Amino acid sequence: MPEQPDFFSRPSVKRTLWILLYASCAVTVLAGFLYPTKAPFRFASFFGFYAILGFASCAGLIILAKCMGKFLKKPGDYYDK
């Protein structure tokens, strides 16, 4: 009997999750058009500021984690000693 793939490995589930991701992104962008907010600072008032800020923060954290991994990495036989 062939093994069933995990739930999230199924192509239909992957496609559904991608569609949900795109839909939620579209809804949040449309919400920015429909319900503009009063920005506390002038530079935060342009459209898409918080999306760009979130992306830059996530990318920065990934780069920081990779740099920290270079310094904190242990050899492969560290626990075997």
- C-alpha atoms less than 13 angstroms from C-alpha of 54 in its C-beta half-sphere: 5
- pLDDT at 43 exceeding the cut of 80: no
Q: Which two tokens stand for residue 54?
A: 């979130």
Residue 22 parent element (H or E): helix 11-34
Q: Which residue has the tokens 């898409």?
A: 48
The pTM is what?
Answer: 0.58
Average pLDDT estimate for 34-42: 80
- Is residue 14 a contact partner of residue 8, using CB atoms and an 8 Å limit? yes
- Average pLDDT, whole number, for the chain? 86
48-80 residue pLDDT tens: 788 889 899 999 999 999 999 988 888 878 787
Q: Which two tokens stand for residue 40?
A: 């506390």
pLDDT at 59: 97
**Per-residue b/e over 8-24, b at no fewer than 16 CB within 10 Å?**
eeeeeeeeeeeeeeeee
DSSP SS3 for 48 = coil
